Amino acid sequence: MSNLLKKVNWMTLLIPIVSVILGLLCGAVIMLIIGYNPVLAYQSIIESIFLQPYYGGETIRAMIPLVLAGIAVAFAFRTGLFNIGVEGQLLVGWFASVACAICFGHLPKVILLPMSIIAGGAAGALWGFIPGILKARFKVHEVISTIMMNYIALYTTAYLIKNFLYTEGERTPTIPAAASLASTFLANLTQGSRLHWGFVVAIIAVFAMWFILWKTTKGYELRAVGFSPDASKYAGMNVSRNIMLSLTISGIFAGLGGAMEGLGTYQYMTINSAFTGIGFNGIAVALLGLNTPVGVVLSGALFAGLQTGGLTMQSDAGVPVELIQIIIALIIFFVGSGYVIKWAFGRLSRKGHK
Amino acid sequence: MSFFEVLTIIIPSTLLTAAPLIFTSLGGVFSERSGVVNIGLEGLMAVGAFTAAISTLGLEHAGLGDASPWIAIIIAAIAGGIFSLIHAVVSISFRADQTVSGVALNFLAAGLTIFLVKMIYDGKGQTPYITHNIDKISIPGLAKIPFIGPIFFQQVTYTSYLAILVSVLVWFIIFKTPFGLRLRSVGEHPAAADTLGINVSKMRYIGVALSGVFGGIGGAVYLVTITSNYNVTTIAGQGFLALAALVFGKWHPIGAMGASMFFGFAQALSITGQQIPYLDRLPSVVMLTAPYVLTLIVLTGFVGRAEAPKADGVPYIKGQR
């Protein structure tokens, strides 16, 4: 029995690792076909994010919303729900935090900063609660409803900015310093990157996911519903309420991700004509991280590093930065096809025994 | 402005914006009726639009003139069909989560098309504009009919009417032919279909490939009638709107066509609303979000229940109960 467990764990770890390797290999093949030097390209990514403090700082900065988005997706996944709506929840969180910071700009930092962060989380919670209640009460599939909610968020936030918080440059005014997460200390440490205190929030969120799901009774219920709604119902758990709760908490994480962009990275919100992509990347982060807190941090670091280093790759090796997006897509395909990877390895190891 | 004039603005504009949505949502009908959820419609449209852009430019260069965009649509259909096979292989043969695969397909399409644009046009993020679009025309004869002519047959494109005809054809194929019955059976109860000797995987591959073909056409039509060049923002949400139309139309070809028309109408109003008395006071956000809000309301069952095919989204594994 213990042997079996070991084998399963090893296998589950194998899939993301093999997927990343295959994804990077495919990226290299694409570069070779078109006539770029893949070694130079990957080298420039690694060198920039590990040796240049600016790019290192930017990588951690990019990780903050990415990890929060990944936590949001992973949390819902654990309850058997696919939250594609992280993108929308992130946008409303972004907007609410910036709006709160501007409207209550006269308050001191000790009150305003936590209040603005909470406003972002609360807006995300609302945006997650709606698909939650639609699923629990009306059996509306969350994949469809969260996609709809994304677009409602996109157009609504753009409308609200345009009509109530507009300033030159198609954006809101800059938030008051009392609501800002930015830090000259961190910026100086990383030679002027936009690294901000939001990473503390991300760390707390990662810890919160672990604590809620694995250390509380409610978390046990949430995971039980994810494993088998019917069995949970039979055991006396309220499945509908757990679905609503899960998507609401997921929305909080996503909303916080948006707040980090608003209060930390940008200090304002632009009128978005298209999505930020962070929410969709969060799906990739969660999948590759096997929906575990530690896994989300690791895969978040990988994707943030690839995206930040991708810019140096473009300037140094001349490879368009879109290659990174192609590699991420391929990694998701490979992780998703875990069944085949397992099967192939099963075949190989069986041959080894003969 | 008279009510009649208002109609002559809104109806042609509706027909124009609805056509790409109709084609793409019909693609969704094929895929989801066969039991494969296709979140990747957005990506398929992107591939279609990109292919249409570069093929039209190529064909123009070769001197084919006005025929170029039409041939480009056919090439885009093929490209979409081939691209959708990735989704088919991963979600049918490799049994990946279909939503995951669809999300990845969108990623891949967005990345790959812009990557290729940069390759082909020396690092520029967008293609040049095509010169031979499919233009808005007055349909000879029909446009002369009093009252109806100016509303329905002036300032329209042939693609809009083609889309409506094709949706009737798709309805016929899905509900009146043996092929359609088989397609629906593997989407409702694959095990039963398998017992009767229907090749479930093959039918699902065909369903997904057809969604690629139609998604490709949808993207191509959007490009040659509306945007005329391809860049990152060309396909921004059109595919998801088509997905909403598919659900709003209750997975029925005619329903999907009607829903696309309605969404096209909402988009037309949000664009042309400023010229129309009374409507200019309504915030455009109401029109922009209307398709999505209404889809949510339809899904809650207040306006008749929308039921997805029974086995939609469930990988079929032989021998499993």
pLDDT in tens, chain B (321 residues): 677 777 888 888 889 999 999 999 999 999 999 999 999 999 999 999 999 999 999 998 888 888 899 999 999 999 999 999 999 999 998 888 888 899 899 999 999 999 999 989 887 889 999 988 887 777 777 777 777 777 777 778 889 999 999 999 999 999 999 999 999 999 999 989 988 999 999 999 999 999 999 999 999 999 999 998 999 888 888 898 899 889 888 899 999 999 999 888 888 877 776 667 676 677 778 888 888 888 888 778 765 556 678 888 788 877 775
Write the residue in B118, B232, B299 that is nearest to A140 by C-beta: B299
Beta bridge partners, A171, equal A167, A270
How many beta carbons lie within 10 A of that of residue B294, not counting itself?
Answer: 18
The whole-chain average pLDDT of chain A stands at 89
**Per the CB < 8 Å rule, is A144 touching B119?**
no
Are A273 and B288 contacting, i.e. CB atoms less than 8 angstroms apart? Answer: no
Residues of A in contact with B292 (CB under 8 A): 148-149, 151-152
Are A273 and B236 contacting, i.e. CB atoms less than 8 angstroms apart? Answer: yes
The values of phi and psi at residue A196, to 5°, are -135, 175
How many beta carbons lie within 10 A of that of residue B138, not counting itself?
Answer: 14
Residues of A in contact with B97 (CB under 8 A): 336
Interatomic CA distance for residues A52 and A41, integer angstroms: 16
What's the confidence (pLDDT) of residue B269?
78
Q: Under 8 Å CB-to-CB from B136, ≥6 apart: which residues?
A: B12, B16, B155, B156, B157
The domain segmentation of chain B, as residue ranges, is 3-300
What's the confidence (pLDDT) of residue B267?
80
Among B50, B124, B296, most A C-beta atoms within 10 A, so best to mutate, is B296
| Per-range mean pLDDT, top range of A274-283, A290-299, A338-347, B261-270 | A290-299
DSSP one-letter string for B21-58: HHHHHHHHHHHHHTT---TTHHHHHHHHHHHHHHHHHH
| Least confident range of A152-166, A275-289, B125-139 | B125-139
Coil/strand/helix, residue A159: helix
Q: Under 8 Å CB-to-CB from B180, ≥6 apart: which residues?
A: B172, B173, B174
The topology (CATH level 3) of B3-300 is ABC transporter involved in vitamin B12 uptake, BtuC (1.10.3470)
Q: How many beta-carbon pairs below 8 A join chains A and B?
A: 135
What's the confidence (pLDDT) of residue B321?
58
CA dihedral A65, A71, A77, A79 (to 10 degrees): -130
The ipTM is: 0.87
Q: A254-282 burial, b if ≥16 CB within 10 A, otherwise e? A: bbbbbbbbbbbbbbbbebbeebbebbbbb
Question: How far is C-alpha A185 from the chain's CA centre?
Answer: 26
Runs of H (alpha helix) within chain A: 2-34, 38-51, 53-78, 86-103, 109-138, 142-164, 184-189, 198-215, 217-227, 229-234, 239-260, 278-288, 293-317, 322-336, 338-353
| Nearest residue in chain B measured CA to CA from A339 | B94
A103, pLDDT greater than 90: yes
Are A93 and A254 contacting, i.e. CB atoms less than 8 angstroms apart? Answer: yes
Residues of A in contact with B295 (CB under 8 A): 144, 148
Query: pLDDT for A45-59, tens place per residue?
Result: 999 889 888 999 999
What's the confidence (pLDDT) of residue A7?
52
Write the residue in B95, B240, B244 that is nearest to A339 by C-beta: B95
Beta bridge partners, A270, equal A171
Q: Under 8 Å CB-to-CB from B32, ≥6 apart: which residues?
A: B38, B187, B207, B246, B251, B308, B309, B312
Average pLDDT over residues A90-103: 95
Residues of A in contact with B106 (CB under 8 A): 280
Residues of B in contact with A332 (CB under 8 A): 100, 103-104, 107
Surface of A (287-326) touching B: CB under 8 A:
287, 320, 322-326
The domain segmentation of chain A, as residue ranges, is 67-277
Q: What does the angle CA B109 – CA B111 – CA B114 come to, to the nearest 5 degrees?
A: 100
How many beta carbons lie within 10 A of that of residue A166, not counting itself?
Answer: 14
What's the confidence (pLDDT) of residue A140?
86
DSSP state of B125: S
Name the percent of chain A lying above pLDDT 90: 56
What's the confidence (pLDDT) of residue B304?
55
Write the residue in A156, A284, A329 that is nearest to B289 by C-beta: A156
Indicate the helix (H) or strand (E) that contains B4: helix B3-33
What's the confidence (pLDDT) of residue B133?
81
Query: pLDDT for A104-136, tens place per residue?
Result: 989 998 999 999 999 999 999 999 999 999 999
Are A328 and A306 contacting, i.e. CB atoms less than 8 angstroms apart? Answer: yes
Of A340, A235, A216, A331, the residue nearest A285 (C-alpha): A331
Among B32, B94, B297, most A C-beta atoms within 10 A, so best to mutate, is B94
Residue keyed to tokens 């954006």: A171
What's the confidence (pLDDT) of residue B139?
76
